[in-house]
């Protein structure tokens, strides 16, 4: 497994690299965004870890550039998260995960593993997909179609959609979502569902402002509503 | 002397008496005003003229000695000369048309004319008058005098007509015109008998002038006080309801100009070294930013002297540097009011009229003087507000920088210590491991401090995430974080909870941290062997969490300040206790954000109980809507 770490602080790069190497990963290091993109293109890593504030090109831009061409899981690792908006911004740029420095190395590797797990294991417990004529989900091939067009979902978005769809008609609480989509390490990261749901709505709903598939149950969670096939 | 003649004389006499009384009132009210002084002279000379004429006629009627008649004629002649001259001067003064040497010239002319008359009275030969019949005198003015009187009368009519915009009161204008017509009639018919006809015009004229002065200076201010106060209150409200400095200034300028119905207004702000034109109303915006040295221009002078200054005609009266570009060409009457707050001159309010515009009266100036301090307060307010916003911005920026600049090296150091611990497990001596552990603990402490600052910032800036939270679970989690620390200090922590506590709507993360902070605080200030009890109960729609300790207690004077950021109460013998002074601030901020309340009971030497009451339904709905994004 190849992991790319992009951080302008050499000491941090080294420590994270050493830790991950000892855990058995192939690690590539880059000191700024442009180098990071270059290494990404040549090595095609399985996971990218991005610092946000960096000279030349910041992490959010790097994240967007990678998202344009690949669905590789991306973990933002920043000292910058003060407010929810900062985290939302990172996730909106296409990141799958947002970790705030400082973080314990063991937690960091646990998150890396969870993220890899999430993106690699296709989990169609039931192989029954979903198709109502407008929205169609192909669990086998992990493809989603909206009005006949194939859309791109990140691994996390796909998993979120699948979990909601499998529980259609029932309210899935934030906690359940966090556990099932992200993993039990994440139950306190209650921003994730909110941000991802809005991202997902933008991609699959006919009108993201007035959702018809993914409905909010105020203060409890979310509910997927199937539609009669047309 | 006919009866009609007598009646008209009596009416004229009564009118003049009335006018004189009114004039006294006006002079008593303000005797320094040039208008009033000249109106007074005008009234006085007219009265002289009338009484001279009266004495002469009555003397002639009762066949009194000719010297008495002569005295009356002289008095009448002098009075008439004075009345004509002061009529013209009054017209000039009322329209603000006097030049720089006006007073001096008027004085010299007066002395010359009256001196000449006195000399004539002593040395003139020949009879001054002829008696046509008993009580009717014939009297001739010299041709030069006639021309002079005629000139005064015509000039007064002309001036009052041409500059009519500057004399707002119609009665005043009509009064002057009536009098001038009376004078012309007097000249057309030379017979003293006919003078009573001229009095039919002149006496009402004087009465009108005096009444107009009483009206504008005494009656109107009294009658208009209520509406004026209301208008003034509106202006005050408009000024003080703005917070951004540029808006405040613009509003002051606009309101001042509107209140005085003036053509334009400008505000200069004092920046310490000079005055800067900061806002204009009805003037070119491109002038904004122009500088004026203190003491320069009328505005600069007002700023230095801290006294209101008023000019009737900027072009004519101002000899210093112009206050603005083209000021000499475009300004007529102007008023400059210093805006004083405390000891400082914040700036100057400058209200102007065009050269054809009205003149500012005493009431106008008084209103502006009243507006001045309000405007100064408003300016100070908005400056403080802007300064505070700037400070807030700087604070946030600093906090962001702190977060980034401190967290990166901290993270780096922590990571390397962790690696060292892992990789050195089998190599390092126990002593080395203990050193590394100490370093680790200190780094953790640093991390807690930074996190404390950031958390506090975050809670106060209002971005908690609300969900349904289980109180029992939160208390247990918070306590579990600190159980080791308590054990190290040989303190027992008891949890005493009822079997069923309702869930509350709140931010789990912050609530746990708040409870943990209270417990941690209790641990710090409780000595070995002490007990900390965490309990909770439901009271109506509230869940109240109590954290009680058997510690040193908080002195009453410190209790009020204990929730302030960075405040640390002094406890004798507890100086070694470490802390940031942020813990309780965060508890307070979290409680506030949840619409709750925090208070404490404490006895020095016995212990402290903190109570945190949280509404079960969370903060009210409006807060949630504004705080959650989906």
Distance to chain B for A93, nearest Cα, Å: 17
Average pLDDT of the residues in B459-472:
76
Q: Which A residues in the span 148-167 are in contact with B, Cβ-Cβ below 8 Å?
A: none
Q: Cα separations (Å) of B120 from A125, B139, B346?
A: 133, 15, 61
Higher pLDDT, B586 or B122: B586
Residue B217 carries which DSSP code? I
How many whole angstroms separate alpha carbon B15 and alpha carbon B209? 12
Interface probe with A: pick from B404, B406, B412, B509, most Cβ of A within 10 Å: B412
Taking an 8 Å cut-off on Cβ atoms, the answer to whether A9 and B412 are in contact is: yes
- Other Cβ atoms closer than 10 A to B69: 22
Distance to chain A for B525, nearest Cα, Å: 29
* pLDDT confidence of residue B626: 39
Asked if B55 and B68 count as a contact pair (C-beta separation under 8 A), the reply is: yes
Average pLDDT of the residues in B572-597:
78
* Nearest beta carbon to residue A101 from set B408, B509, B628: B408
Taking an 8 Å cut-off on Cβ atoms, the answer to whether B407 and A220 are in contact is: no
Taking an 8 Å cut-off on Cβ atoms, the answer to whether B404 and A19 are in contact is: no
In B, minimum Cα distance to A197 occurs at: B630
Taking an 8 Å cut-off on Cβ atoms, the answer to whether B508 and A18 are in contact is: no
Average pLDDT of the residues in B602-612:
91
Partners of residue B466 in chain A, C-beta under 8 Å: 219
Residue B148 pLDDT > 50: yes
* pLDDT confidence of residue B107: 86
| Report for A117-121, B26-30, B118-122, B227-231: range of highest mean pLDDT | B26-30
Partners of residue B411 in chain A, C-beta under 8 Å: 12, 79, 101-103
Higher pLDDT, A190 or B276: B276
Residue B191 carries which DSSP code? B
Confidence bin at B527 (pLDDT 50/70/90): confident
* pLDDT confidence of residue A108: 94
In A, minimum Cα distance to B455 occurs at: A82
Average pLDDT of the residues in B281-294:
89
**Is B578 touching A (CB cutoff 8 A)?**
no
Taking an 8 Å cut-off on Cβ atoms, the answer to whether B630 and A80 are in contact is: no
Residue listed under structure tokens 């870890």: A49
How many whole angstroms separate alpha carbon B339 and alpha carbon B88? 39
Average pLDDT of the residues in B113-139:
70
Taking an 8 Å cut-off on Cβ atoms, the answer to whether A105 and B415 are in contact is: yes
Partners of residue A191 in chain B, C-beta under 8 Å: 465
- Residues in Cβ contact with A171 at an 8 Å cutoff, skipping those fewer than 6 apart: A217, A220, A221, A222, A223
**Is B629 touching A (CB cutoff 8 A)?**
yes
ipTM exceeding the 0.85 mark: no
Residue B532 pLDDT > 90: yes
Distance to chain B for A127, nearest Cα, Å: 31
**Is B416 touching A (CB cutoff 8 A)?**
yes
H/E element, A30: strand A26-30
How many whole angstroms separate alpha carbon B33 and alpha carbon A41? 90
Taking an 8 Å cut-off on Cβ atoms, the answer to whether A102 and B411 are in contact is: yes
* pLDDT confidence of residue A126: 58
The chain-wide mean pLDDT, for chain A, equals 87
- Residues in Cβ contact with B424 at an 8 Å cutoff, skipping those fewer than 6 apart: B432, B433, B436
In A, minimum Cα distance to B454 occurs at: A82
* pLDDT confidence of residue B576: 56
Interface probe with B: pick from A20, A22, A79, most Cβ of B within 10 Å: A79
- Considering only B237-241, B255-259, B332-336, B492-496, which range has the smallest mean pLDDT? B237-241
Taking an 8 Å cut-off on Cβ atoms, the answer to whether B416 and A15 are in contact is: yes
* pLDDT confidence of residue B418: 93
What are A75-102's pLDDT values in tens digits?
A: 999 887 656 677 778 888 888 888 888 8
Distance to chain B for A53, nearest Cα, Å: 9
Interface probe with B: pick from A17, A76, A82, most Cβ of B within 10 Å: A82
Higher pLDDT, B210 or B6: B210
Strand locations in B574-618 (E): 597-603, 607-615
* pLDDT confidence of residue B617: 85
The chain-wide mean pLDDT, for chain B, equals 84
Higher pLDDT, B572 or A209: A209
Residue by residue, pLDDT tens for chain A (230 residues) are 999 999 999 999 999 999 999 999 999 999 999 999 999 999 999 999 999 888 888 899 999 999 888 889 999 998 876 566 777 788 888 888 888 888 999 999 999 998 888 877 555 555 668 888 888 888 888 889 998 888 888 888 888 999 999 888 899 988 888 888 888 778 777 778 888 888 899 889 988 888 999 998 876 789 998 887 65
Q: Which B residues in the span 435-454 are in contact with A, Cβ-Cβ below 8 Å?
A: 447, 454
Q: Cα separations (Å) of B63 from B56, B131, B426, B506?
A: 10, 10, 147, 112
* pLDDT confidence of residue B462: 64
Asked if B353 and B359 count as a contact pair (C-beta separation under 8 A), the reply is: yes
Residue B515 pLDDT > 90: yes
Residue B465 pLDDT > 80: no
Taking an 8 Å cut-off on Cβ atoms, the answer to whether B463 and A84 are in contact is: yes
Residue B20 pLDDT > 80: yes
Residue B316 pLDDT > 90: no
* pLDDT confidence of residue B338: 94
Higher pLDDT, B317 or B195: B317
Partners of residue B400 in chain A, C-beta under 8 Å: 80, 82
Asked if B205 and B176 count as a contact pair (C-beta separation under 8 A), the reply is: yes
Interface probe with B: pick from A21, A102, A197, most Cβ of B within 10 Å: A102
**Is A187 touching B (CB cutoff 8 A)?**
no
What are B47-99's pLDDT values in tens digits?
A: 988 888 888 888 887 877 888 888 888 888 888 888 888 888 888 888 877 77
How many whole angstroms separate alpha carbon B352 and alpha carbon B283? 10
What are B158-192's pLDDT values in tens digits?
A: 888 888 877 778 888 899 888 888 888 888 766 65
**Is A218 touching B (CB cutoff 8 A)?**
no
Taking an 8 Å cut-off on Cβ atoms, the answer to whether B630 and A18 are in contact is: no
Interface probe with A: pick from B404, B407, B408, most Cβ of A within 10 Å: B408
**Is A21 touching B (CB cutoff 8 A)?**
no
* pLDDT confidence of residue B142: 73
**Is A190 touching B (CB cutoff 8 A)?**
yes
Partners of residue B457 in chain A, C-beta under 8 Å: 82
Average pLDDT of the residues in B118-141:
69
Reference B9, options B53, B74, B62; nearest CA is B53
pTM for this predicted structure: 0.55
Q: How do strand A149-151 and strand A171-173 relate by DSSP bridges?
A: unpaired
Residue B556 pLDDT > 70: yes
């Amino acid at each position: 497994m190849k992991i790319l770490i992009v951080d302008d602080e050499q000491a941090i790069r080294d420590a994270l690299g050493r830790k991950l190497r000892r855990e058995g990963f192939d690690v590539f290091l880059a000191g700024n965004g442009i180098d990071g993109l270059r290494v990404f293109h040549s090595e095609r890593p399985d996971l990218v870890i991005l610092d946000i504030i960096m000279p030349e090109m910041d992490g959010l831009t790097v994240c967007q550039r990678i998202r344009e061409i690949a669905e590789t899981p991306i973990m933002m690792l920043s000292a910058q998260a003060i407010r929810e908006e900062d985290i939302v911004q990172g996730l909106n740029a296409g990141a799958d995960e947002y970790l705030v420095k400082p973080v314990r190395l063991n937690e960091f590797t646990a998150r890396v593993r969870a993220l890899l797990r999430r993106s690699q294991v296709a989990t169609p417990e039931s192989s029954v997909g979903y198709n109502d004529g407008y929205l169609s989900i192909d669990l086998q091939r992990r493809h989603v179609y909206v009005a006949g067009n194939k859309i791109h979902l990140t691994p996390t978005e796909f998993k979120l959609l699948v979990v909601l769809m499998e529980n259609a008609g029932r309210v899935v609480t934030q906690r359940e979502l966090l556990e099932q989509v992200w993993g039990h390490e994440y139950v306190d990261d209650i921003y994730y569902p909110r941000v991802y749901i809005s991202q997902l709505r933008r991609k699959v709903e006919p009108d993201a402002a007035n959702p018809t598939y993914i409905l909010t149950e105020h203060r409890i969670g979310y509910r997927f509503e199937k539609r009669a096939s047309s | 002397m006919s009866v009609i003649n007598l009646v008209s004389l009596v009416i004229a006499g009564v009118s003049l008496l009335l006018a004189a009384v009114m004039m006294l009132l006006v002079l008593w009210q303000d005797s320094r005003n040039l208008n009033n002084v000249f109106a007074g002279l005008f009234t006085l000379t007219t009265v002289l003229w009338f009484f001279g004429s009266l004495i002469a006629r009555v003397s002639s009627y009762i066949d009194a000695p000719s010297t008495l008649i002569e005295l009356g004629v002289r008095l009448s002649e002098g009075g008439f000369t004075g009345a004509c001259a002061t009529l013209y001067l009054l017209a000039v003064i009322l329209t603000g048309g006097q030049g720089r040497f006006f007073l001096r010239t008027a004085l010299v002319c007066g002395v010359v004319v009256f001196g000449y008359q006195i000399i004539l009275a002593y040395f003139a030969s020949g009879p001054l008058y002829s008696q046509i019949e008993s009580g009717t005198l014939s009297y001739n003015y010299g041709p030069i005098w006639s021309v002079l009187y005629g000139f005064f009368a015509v000039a007064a009519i002309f001036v009052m007509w041409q500059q009519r915009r500057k004399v707002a009161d119609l009665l005043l204008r009509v009064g002057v015109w009536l009098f001038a017509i009376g004078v012309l009639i007097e000249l057309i018919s030379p017979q003293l008998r006919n003078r009573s006809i001229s009095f039919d015009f002149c006496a009402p004229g004087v009465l009108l002038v005096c009444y107009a002065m009483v009206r504008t200076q005494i009656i109107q201010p009294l009658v208009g006080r209520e509406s004026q106060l209301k208008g003034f209150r509106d202006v005050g409200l408009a000024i003080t309801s703005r917070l951004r400095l540029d808006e405040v200034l613009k509003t002051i300028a606009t309101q001042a100009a509107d209140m005085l119905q003036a053509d334009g207004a400008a505000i200069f702000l004092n920046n310490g070294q000079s005055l800067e034109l900061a806002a204009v109303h009805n003037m070119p915006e491109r002038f904004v930013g122009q500088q004026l040295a203190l003491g320069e221009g009328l505005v600069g002078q007002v700023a230095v002297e801290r006294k209101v200054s008023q000019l009737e005609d900027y072009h004519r009266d101002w000899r210093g540097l112009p206050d603005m570009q083209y000021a000499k060409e475009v300004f007529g009457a102007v008023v400059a009011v210093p805006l004083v707050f405390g000891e400082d001159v914040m700036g100057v309010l400058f209200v102007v009229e065009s050269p054809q515009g009205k003149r500012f009266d005493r009431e106008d100036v008084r209103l502006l003087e009243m507006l001045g301090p309000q405007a100064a307060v408003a300016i100070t307010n908005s400056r403080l507000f802007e300064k505070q916003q700037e400070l807030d911005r700087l604070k946030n920026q600093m906090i962001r920088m702190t977060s980034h600049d401190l967290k990166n090296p901290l993270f780096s150091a922590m990571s390397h210590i962790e690696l060292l611990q892992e990789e050195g497990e089998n190599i390092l001596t126990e002593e080395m491991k203990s050193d590394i552990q100490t370093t680790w603990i200190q780094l953790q402490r640093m991390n807690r401090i930074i996190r404390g600052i950031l958390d506090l910032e975050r809670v106060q800036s209002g971005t908690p995430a609300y969900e349904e939270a289980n109180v029992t679970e939160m208390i247990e989690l918070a306590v579990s974080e600190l159980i080791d620390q308590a054990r190290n200090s040989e303190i027992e922590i008891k949890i005493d909870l009822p079997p069923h506590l309702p869930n509350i709507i709140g931010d789990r993360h912050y609530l746990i941290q708040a409870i943990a902070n209270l417990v941690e605080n209790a641990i710090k200030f409780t000595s070995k062997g002490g007990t900390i009890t965490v309990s909770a109960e439901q009271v109506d729609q509230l869940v109240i969490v109590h954290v009680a300790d058997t510690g040193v207690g908080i002195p009453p004077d410190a209790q009020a300040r204990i929730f302030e950021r960075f405040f640390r109460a002094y406890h004798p013998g507890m100086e070694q206790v470490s802390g940031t002074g942020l813990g309780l601030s965060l508890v307070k901020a979290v409680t506030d954000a949840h619409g709750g309340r925090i208070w404490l009971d404490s006895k020095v030497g016995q212990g402290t109980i903190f109570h945190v009451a949280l509404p079960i339904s969370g903060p009210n709905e409006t807060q949630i809507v504004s705080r959650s994004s989906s």
